[in-house]
Amino acid sequence: IADDEKGHDLDLFCVPRHYESDLDKVIIPHGLIMDRTERLARDIIQDMGGHHIVALCVLKGGYKFFADLLDYIKVLNHNSDKSVPLTVDFIRVKSYCNDKSTNSVRVMGGDELSNLAGKDIVETGRTMQTLLSLLSECNPKMVKVVSLLVKRTPRSSGYRPDYIGFEVPDAFLVGYALDYNEYFRDLS
Ligand code: IMP
Ligand code: MG
């Protein structure tokens, strides 16, 4: 998504009344998220070969993307000669206060931390790098990171996930489980 992307007028979509005055525009329509996620699922299955995948969801912001990505992977598993055994796990990570990334990253939950992580957005990359160093302590055979969004920002540490849905401008994005102080997750 280009830096000068105009986006779509809010009036073109169904936006909850209680959020109307707080939002600027729709940058990525829900249908586009779904179409891109379908392709990510195909790429992942092709790359993973016969490896067993532990799909690890990074809560809370990653839950929508995680669920939709796994649904597409499930469809591929149901309908192709090549299929991968899949189990799920969930981890909670907190690094944000208001609209600013903070230096401390707190990680909670998760019991079987191995093969694959699904995330909402990478800004500086600090959250993901902290999580990856924690995961490496469990000696997984391989770790692949899928992030729906990666922000183009001068604050980036240079970290890049293995799979990226969209590269986005340096703006604050909400919806599809991404929040501002817990609000706006309930947008498509
Ligand atoms: P990083 O550690 O700077 O990469 O920050 C990543 C985390 O910050 C994400 O998992 C989100 O929780 C939060 N975050 C960063 N940018 C945004 C945004 O534009 N909207 C909502 N949350 C964001
Ligand atoms: Mg958040």
- Per-10-residue mean pLDDT for the chain, 188 residues long? 96 94 96 98 90 92 97 93 88 78 72 59 89 87 95 96 98 96 95
| Residue written as token pair 């998220």 | 33
Q: In this predicted structure, what is the pLDDT of residue 60?
A: 93
> Taking the model in full, what pTM does it have?
0.91
Q: What is the CATH number of the domain that holds 41?
A: 3.40.50.2020
The closest residue, in CA terms, to atom 20 on ligand 1 is 173
- Judge whether 25 and 59 are in contact, CB under 8 Å: no
Within-domain flag for 23:
no
What is the reported pLDDT for 117? 60
Distance separating alpha carbons of residues 10 and 14, to the nearest angstrom: 8
Ligand 1 contact, 145 CB (< 6 A): no
Whether 140 is covered by a domain: the verdict is yes
Token pair in block for residue 77: 């598993």
Q: Is 7 a member of any domain? A: no
Full domain range(s) for residue 160: 33-168
Tell how far the Cα of 82 is from the centroid of ligand 2, in angstroms: 36
70 lies in some domain: yes
| CA of residue 96 to ligand 1 center, whole Å | 7
